[in-house]
Structure 1
Amino acid sequence: MVQVNRTSQRKKRERNYVGLMVAIIVIVALIDQAVKQLMLNWLEPGQAVAVIGDWFRFYLLFNPGAAFSMGQDSTWLFTTIQLVFVVGALIAAFFIRQPWYAVGIALIAGGALGNLCDRLFREPGFWFGHVVDYISVGNFAVFNLADASITIGVVVFVIAVFLDDSDKAEKQDAQEVKDGEAQ
């Protein structure tokens, strides 16, 4: 009986993380859009405002492509990929049982949703909109909060993969049940 209780306790802990993921996705996208609107109201396109010398600046530009402005003629493709990822993440939320996987995927999806909003609703038009970028660090490409969220999400997800011991825990549970049946 003790073995069954231990297993049922583990199952309770291994719930899905739909609420957590939706909250992270929505919060990241809303903050991203709010900061973009603030930057649009404050800066002119191409205008740079030094925050920490030339190392950290706010610099407003519009990016039709992906990271580092690659694929500028493929805006429709990036829009489609982001939409598929956000929908896929919401579906996956019902099946994810590890909290750090949920956080990583939600950060990626929240960033994708933030940039997707730009691609859907900003100039030059629906599905082909340009992403608002405004963070300039050193000589690195100009990016935004959504991009940072995607990067952090990937790092969290990769770390979660390397630290995942769920197979070990499942094997331990199975062995405990087996040992309990043998007694």
Structure 2
Amino acid sequence: MPPEAEPSEGGAVPDAPETPEPPQPKRRVVLLAVIAVLVLAVDQVTKAIAVAELEFAEPVRILGGAVYLQLIRNSGAAFGMAAGMTWVLALIACAVVIALIWFAKRLRSPGWAVGLGLILAGALGNLTDRFFRAPGVLQGHVVDFVSVFAPNGDVWPVFNVADSSLFVGCGLIILLSLLGKDYDGKTIEKKKVRKS
């Protein structure tokens, strides 16, 4: 049993010292940044190759027809949604990027760092296209080049590495949430017990 606190000279029992919050592990922020930079680089390199090799070409059938490579310029969101709303999507992507960078300092979970790094890479990948590709700033069309099971997105919308990164990152965050793993590295159930 811990010894009881001794009363001070005034007769009051001093409060127990508060346990300080553990310092923010910078490794989680570094992990998020490394994932984001690597995936962004892969996205931009593959888009550059697609533009150089697939412009005006017929769809290239690979893996026995499981994948077709063809160049599509997309004015919409991931997987071809919200076509024609390019500038709105660009502003939303800017807000997402800013929010993720601000939130990164709170991270203590490596799983969340990976998931948010993938989401950040996906948002930045397509946002880069919207800023720097034709027809102009905030209106640029995203380069998509992967069509699965059939050409022209007949089975599944044509996509790129950034779209895949967004999809996988969101899936990972949802999975971690369902498993009760929070961004600060603690389990949600333990937090509820402490609050009650």
Normalising by the residue count of structure 1, what TM-score does the alignment of the two structures yield? 0.81
Give the whole-Å Cα distance in 1 for the aligned partners of 2:145 and 2:56: 9
- Number of the residue aligned with 1:179: none
Which of 171, 185, 190 is the aligned partner of 1:155?
Answer: 171
Long gaps (5+) in structure 1: 1-6, 175-183
* Contact 1:22 1:90 (C-alpha < 8 Å) held by counterparts: no
Change (3 A) 1:45 1:111: farther
| RMSD, aligned α-carbons | 2.2
Look up the equivalent residue of 2:96 and give its one-letter code. F
Task: Work out whether 1:60 is the aligned partner of 2:71.
Answer: yes
State the 1:169 CA deviation.
5.0
Q: CA deviation at 1:21?
A: 1.0
- For residue 175 of structure 2, give the secondary structure of its aligned residue in structure 1: helix
Q: Which residue of 2 aligns with 1:4?
A: none
1:40 and 2:51 are equivalent in the alignment: yes
Return the offset for 1:171: 7.5
CA–CA separation in structure 2 for the residues paired with 1:144 and 1:92: 26
Contact 2:79 2:163 in 1 (8 A): no
Change (3 A) 1:99 1:76: same
The gaps in structure 2 that reach 5 residues or longer are: 1-18, 150-154
Give the drift of 1:45. 4.1
Identity of counterpart residues, as a percentage? 36
Q: Deviations over 1:103-127 (max 9, x none)?
A: 1111011011011100000011111
Tell me the distance in 2 between the aligned counterparts of 1:47 and 1:78.
29
Report the CA distance shift for 1:171/1:141 in structure 2 as closer, same or farther (over 3 A): closer
Residue by residue over 1:18-57, the C-alpha shift from the partner in whole angstroms, topping out at 9 and shown as x without a partner, is 1111111111111100110011111124631001233211
Instruction: Give 1 or 2: higher helix fraction.
Output: 1
